[in-house]
């Protein structure tokens, strides 16, 4: 405990975090128990697990969208609420959550409208971010005119607008087809390398988590708990072909075997 | 992508051609007397279209005076009712606990027949002005307002509260307050619902304006003229006003649909 707080590189510290819901029948449901871990600055972490393991709950607790019923979360010394209000987070959701009444570029500008940034600054940064996700030429389109993968990339561009330190991604590619998803994996890693964010990526896809992450945090259900943390020491930058290597396959089975009670 | 506009155009053509064809058949049957045989009536109670058109032409000044009187009531009531209904929806969305309950009560206003509502309102407003014309206009506008308010508040409430998945979380992660959330998310999200409400309340505003004229103290308006002329057995003139009432209703609805297409074009 003392060691970890002294470590300057720790960005998010989870200490015995737990979440208990009151179910409709009056019983208590333990969505999450005793999650303790440190996430370092600039790390790419996956929260991996089957449905009901509490991975999204954990992400939402970090994001201050849920309050844990026990334990503590610190984000560089701040509570999640303080961190949220300091705009340290940006979130990417399962669906792109673009506003259909705004053009692509106006969607990307939205966070800076909320922070009352000047018009020219908004436009300038939005152009830069759209360029980063490779969608410059679609800036005046409306969301419905884009494919699911493109919409999700707009969501990522929007998330980067406030220059957050931490990018929280909640199964962002789960609704996409395999081809699009694999392409977005490579794109996301490029963006990560350019921007140096800490990324927490929730997924139920084992190979996705191995391909992307520095560390895979395996969560198991009933009750939701952290059952293993597996370091992924594959070299970077990673290309699609790495999935065909024996090292990759070995890590995938190592992750798979670390699940408990599924 | 290219298939969509085409099939859209085809749909638009289909939806225009069928009603027009039906209208043409109806008018032909009417003019040739076939309709009278079918309905077992005569050309005195149901005058020929040409006769009705002649009367409209001969009395155009008087008809227009009544049209403006009715339109004034319908539009004022529509505007007041819609604004009031939207404000109620905003209030209900801000305080959902008491809000959704009070909306249920307001939506029940929709179930009150105008014929029941009108005498009550006219009684309420009998002291607002010494002039009968003003008194009556106020009473009629209030009736239309109440009717239009109900449909706007219920629909706008849905638009303000039924938000796309995660859109509120998104606002929260940006540290947006309630006012910002309202301005950037709830308000724009409610725009299509405003049109849903207007699709109901535009026709209803005209119907309730015409019906409220029946009960008003001051004799004016298309609806009142229909009634007055039937009472003195001037069926041709009554029919002239009926046709004019139909034209007003259709014109207002077409205007609304055009406005809706313009405003929501980008979203669909």
pLDDT digits (tens, 9 = 90+) for B143-197: 999 999 999 999 999 999 999 989 999 999 988 889 999 999 999 999 999 999 9
Evaluate if residue B9 carries a pLDDT over 80: no
Q: What is the model's pLDDT at position B84? A: 96
What pTM does this model have?
A: 0.84
- Residues of chain A with pLDDT > 90, as a percent, come to 76
Average pLDDT over residues B58-68: 94
How many CB atoms are closer than 10 A to CB B184?
20
> For residues A228 and A258, is the Cβ–Cβ distance under 8 A?
yes
Closest residue in chain A to residue B172, using alpha carbons only:
A65
Across chain B, mean pLDDT equals: 90
Which of B162, B165, B166, B183 to substitute to test the interface with A, most A CBs within 10 Å? B166
| Residue A85 to residue B175, Cβ atoms within 8 A | yes
Q: Note whether B6 contacts A: Cβ–Cβ < 8 A.
A: no
Q: Note whether B185 contacts A: Cβ–Cβ < 8 A.
A: yes
Specify the range with the lowest mean pLDDT, choosing from A38-52, A56-70, A223-237, B104-118. Answer: B104-118
Contacts of B165 in chain A (CB under 8 A): 93-95, 97
Q: Note whether B260 contacts A: Cβ–Cβ < 8 A.
A: no
Q: With bands split at pLDDT 50, 70 and 90, how would you rate the model's confidence at A2?
A: very low
| Residue B173 to residue A91, Cβ atoms within 8 A | yes
Evaluate if residue B228 carries a pLDDT over 80: yes
Closest residue in chain A to residue B188, using alpha carbons only:
A101
Evaluate if residue B8 carries a pLDDT over 70: no
Q: With bands split at pLDDT 50, 70 and 90, how would you rate the model's confidence at B268?
A: low
| Residue A111 to residue B185, Cβ atoms within 8 A | no
Share of chain A residues as helix, strand and coil, in percent rounded to the nearest 5: 40, 25, 35
Q: What is the model's pLDDT at position A1? A: 43
Average pLDDT over residues B98-111: 82
Q: What is the model's pLDDT at position B96? A: 82
Non-local CB neighbours of B136 within 8 Å, separated by 6+ positions: B122, B216, B217, B218, B220
| Residue A99 to residue B167, Cβ atoms within 8 A | yes
Q: What is the model's pLDDT at position B3? A: 42
Does residue B211 or residue B13 have the better pLDDT?
B211
Q: With bands split at pLDDT 50, 70 and 90, how would you rate the model's confidence at A215?
A: very high
Average pLDDT over residues B220-240: 93
pLDDT digits (tens, 9 = 90+) for B11-46: 777 788 888 999 999 999 999 999 999 999 988 889
Q: What is the model's pLDDT at position A18? A: 93
Evaluate if residue A7 carries a pLDDT over 80: no
Distance from CA of B177 to the nearest CA of A (A): 9
Contacts of B172 in chain A (CB under 8 A): 64-65, 84
Q: With bands split at pLDDT 50, 70 and 90, how would you rate the model's confidence at A262?
A: low
Q: What is the model's pLDDT at position A8? A: 61
Contacts of A152 in chain B (CB under 8 A): none
Evaluate if residue B7 carries a pLDDT over 90: no
Contacts of B170 in chain A (CB under 8 A): 91, 93, 97
Distance from CA of A58 to the nearest CA of B (A): 15
| Residue B173 to residue A84, Cβ atoms within 8 A | yes
| Residue A110 to residue B184, Cβ atoms within 8 A | yes
Q: Write the ipTM.
A: 0.86
Which of A59, A84, A94, A97 to substitute to test the interface with B, most B CBs within 10 Å? A97
Which of B175, B185, B260 to substitute to test the interface with A, most A CBs within 10 Å? B175
**Could you tell me which CATH class the domain B42-264 is placed in?**
mainly alpha
């Amino acid at each position: 405990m003392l060691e970890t707080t002294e470590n300057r590189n720790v960005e998010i510290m989870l200490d015995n975090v737990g979440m208990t819901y009151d179910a409709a029948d009056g019983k208590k449901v333990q969505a999450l128990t005793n999650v303790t871990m440190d996430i370092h600055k600039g790390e790419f972490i996956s929260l991996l697990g089957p449905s009901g393991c509490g991975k999204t709950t954990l992400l939402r607790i970090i994001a201050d969208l849920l309050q844990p019923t026990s334990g503590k979360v610190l984000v560089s010394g701040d509570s999640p609420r303080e961190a949220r209000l300091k705009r340290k987070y940006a979130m990417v959701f399962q669906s792109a959550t673009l506003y259909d009444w705004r053009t692509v570029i106006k969607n990307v500008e939205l966070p800076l409208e909320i922070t009352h940034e000047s018009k020219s600054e908004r436009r300038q940064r939005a152009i830069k971010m759209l360029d980063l996700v490779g969608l410059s030429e679609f800036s005046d389109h409306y969301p419905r005119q884009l494919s699911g993968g493109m919409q999700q990339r707009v969501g990522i561009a929007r998330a980067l607008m406030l220059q957050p330190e931490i990018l929280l991604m909640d199964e962002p590619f789960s609704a996409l087809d395999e081809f699009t998803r694999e392409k977005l994996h490579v794109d996301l890693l490029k963006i990560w390398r350019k921007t140096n964010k800490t990324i927490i990526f929730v997924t139920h896809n084992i190979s996705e988590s191995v391909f992307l992450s520095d560390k895979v945090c395996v969560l198991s259900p009933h009750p939701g708990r952290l059952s293993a943390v597996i370091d992924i020491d594959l070299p970077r930058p990673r290309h699609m072909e790495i999935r065909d290597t024996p090292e990759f396959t070995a890590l995938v089975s190592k992750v798979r075997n670390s699940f408990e009670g599924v | 992508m290219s298939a969509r506009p085409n099939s859209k155009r085809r749909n638009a053509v289909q939806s225009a051609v069928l009603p027009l064809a039906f209208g043409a058949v109806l008018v032909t049957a009417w003019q040739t007397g076939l309709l009278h045989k079918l309905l077992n009536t005569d050309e005195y109670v149901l005058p020929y279209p040409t006769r009705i058109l002649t009367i409209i032409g001969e009395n155009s000044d008087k008809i227009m005076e009544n049209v403006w009187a009715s339109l004034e009531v319908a539009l004022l009531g529509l505007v007041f009712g819609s604004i009031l209904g939207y404000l109620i929806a905003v209030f209900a969305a801000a305080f959902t606990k008491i809000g959704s309950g009070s909306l249920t009560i307001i939506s029940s206003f929709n179930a009150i027949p105008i014929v029941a509502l009108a005498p009550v309102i006219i009684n309420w407003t009998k002291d607002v002005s010494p002039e009968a014309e003003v008194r009556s206009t106020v009473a009629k506008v209030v009736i239309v307002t109440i009717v239009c308010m109900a449909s706007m508040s219920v629909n706008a409430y849905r638009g303000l509260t039924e938000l796309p998945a995660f859109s509120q979380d998104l606002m929260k992660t940006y540290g947006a307050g309630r006012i910002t959330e309202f301005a950037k998310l709830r308000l724009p999200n409610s725009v299509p619902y405003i049109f849903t409400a207007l699709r109901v309340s535009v026709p209803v505003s005209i119907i309730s304006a015409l019906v409220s004229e029946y009960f008003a103290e001051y004799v004016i308006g298309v609806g009142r003229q229909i009634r007055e002329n039937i009472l003195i057995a001037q069926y041709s003139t009554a029919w002239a006003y009926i046709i004019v009432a139909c034209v007003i209703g259709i014109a207002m609805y077409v205007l609304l649909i055009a406005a809706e297409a313009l405003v929501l074009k980008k979203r669909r």
